[in-house]
Amino acid sequence: MMEPGYRSVSRRDSRSLVGYKHACHAMLHAPLPSSLSPFQMQMRFDGKIGFPGGFVDIRDHSLEDGLNRELAEELGCDQKLLCVTESDYRSSHATDAMPQKVVAHFYIKQLSLADLHRIEVAAVHAKDHGREVMGTIRVPLYTLRDGFGGLPAFLTNTFIGNAKEQLIYALRTLKLLSEEAIQTAISAGQEG
């Protein structure tokens, strides 16, 4: 499932697209052997949910340098605690939708639970906290007995760009939930 208007593009080919801005966003994830396995998104200034990151000027920086700069601004942590590298890169999708043509690059960074928690605490003191970022949030990976609370309800939020598809991609690729559980959560969210 992909947000209409987004097409998959390779990291390499994306560099030769003309007239596109490049945006990099990262999912921070701490593996745990339970449905509480936490990963992070954030509430943005516009009331939409997305991942930390932002626009990157590829004339001056590598994708990862630009992403790490954005993460420092939004999460307030130094690179000893959080440094995304090319090995964390997962996908790129281009869109021609207005107001601007964008290539959205996506990363998944695996961390220890202790470091994820340190980042959540540091985020309160970040430059962008209360301006562009209203707060970090954890994504619920469970579904309550009512069939709606938890992940299905979370999926009814409004997401920025293709962040919802990036989230579902991450659930699949990290095998955090079975395909059946993912489909059930998506369907329940649509009905709820």
- For binding to ligand L6YBMIIZ (CB under 6 A), which residues are involved? 23, 25, 50-51, 53-55, 102, 104, 132, 160-163, 166
Give least dist CB 144 to ligand L6YBMIIZ, A. Answer: 26
Q: Identify whether the C-beta of residue 106 lies closer than 8 Å to the C-beta of residue 95.
A: no
**Eight-state DSSP code of residue 150:** B
Residue in the block written with tokens 């699949």:
172
CA–CA separation, 38 vs 2, rounded Å? 24
Q: Which is nearer to ligand L6YBMIIZ, 66 or 140 (CB)?
A: 66
Q: Which is nearer to ligand L6YBMIIZ, 38 or 161 (CB)?
A: 161
**Eight-state DSSP code of residue 56:** E
With the C-alpha atoms ordered 18, 12, 84, 156, is the resulting torsion angle positive or negative? positive
Q: Which is nearer to ligand L6YBMIIZ, 84 or 160 (CB)?
A: 160
Q: Which is nearer to ligand L6YBMIIZ, 130 or 178 (CB)?
A: 130
Give least dist CB 142 to ligand L6YBMIIZ, A. Answer: 22
Give least dist CB 69 to ligand L6YBMIIZ, A. Answer: 10
Region for residue 25 given its phi and psi (left: phi exceeds 0; alpha: psi -120 to 50; beta: otherwise):
beta
